[in-house]
Amino acid sequence: MARLVFDIETSALPLENFDATQLEYLFREAERQPDDTAKALKRADIQQQFSLWPFTAQVVCVAMVNADTGRGQVLYQSDDFEEEPGAAAGAVEFAPQVDEAELLTAFWDVARRYDAIVSFNGRGFDVPFLYLRSALLNVPISRKDWLGYRFQTEPHCDLAEQFTFYNVSGREGAARRFNLDFYCKAFGIPSPKAEGISGRDINDLLAEGRHRDIAEYCLRDVRATVELYKVWRDRLAGVK
């Protein structure tokens, strides 16, 4: 069975994309704070979260790797089309895209060729984000079955669900959830954050025009997810 391991990177949309009523709604919690300092801090905190919501952010990169062959592709928004799409180690092609709609269209074209997917927190974030952004941009979705029955690993194996046994012990128990970086270090997998970039840096990297750096980081996330998937497949799959 062909399995596609993937990850996305998102970036907040500019405030000018929203009208006054929308902005009032988005920042309503900030306005409830007792003073100007508290309001400013809360406003900054809310704006930082814009990247997490598909109605206030866009997909700027999707990295994909075949779990068995190591071959794949990184689709990323870029202003530089003079750049030659190259192949990184493991035969992963970097393919700049003109905008988000083109990126999503290319992603769904790849996705339809795979029987199953693997993600880390894809059920809680990546998949609904992709679905909603595609709907907003009227991009046809080729696979609409990735948010089906939660307690199964086909067609979607979400490793964040598997390593917590579907949140069996809550926030503080033996199977509490950790982030991808923590799991990687625990299992001796090279961390995707080893080069000093994390998801919190995406907005700044995009503003600086460092599109390829975003793509490289997203690919590191996917490669780490591939290795974590192999740990789960070989040592934990089937635990009930």
| DSSP H or E segment with residue 193 | none
Q: How many residues does the chain have?
A: 240
82 pLDDT higher than 70: no
Predicted local confidence at residue 87, as pLDDT: 47
Predicted local confidence at residue 80, as pLDDT: 74
Burial of 90 (0-12, 13-18, 19+ CB in 10 A): middle
5 pLDDT higher than 50: yes
- Cα 202 from chain centroid? 11
Closest CA to 6 of 138, 151, 155: 155
CATH of domain 3-18+56-235: 3.30.420.10
Mean pLDDT of 148-158: 95
What single-letter DSSP state applies at residue 1? -
- Cα 63 from chain centroid? 9
Closest CA to 4 of 70, 75, 102, 58: 70
Q: How many CB atoms lie within 10 A of CB 130?
A: 25
Q: Which residue has the tokens 């080729």?
A: 142
Predicted local confidence at residue 171, as pLDDT: 87
pTM of the full predicted structure?
0.94
Predicted local confidence at residue 90, as pLDDT: 55
* Ranges of each domain in the chain: 3-18+56-235
Predicted local confidence at residue 54, as pLDDT: 98
The verdict on whether omega for the bond into residue 192 sits within 30 degrees of 0, i.e. cis, is no
Distance between CA 94 and CA 103 in Å, rounded? 12
Whether residue 104 contacts residue 133, with contact meaning beta carbons closer than 8 Å, is answered with yes
Q: What is the pLDDT of residues 189-226, one digit of tens each?
A: 998 887 778 888 899 999 999 999 999 999 999 999 99
Whether residue 4 contacts residue 66, with contact meaning beta carbons closer than 8 Å, is answered with yes
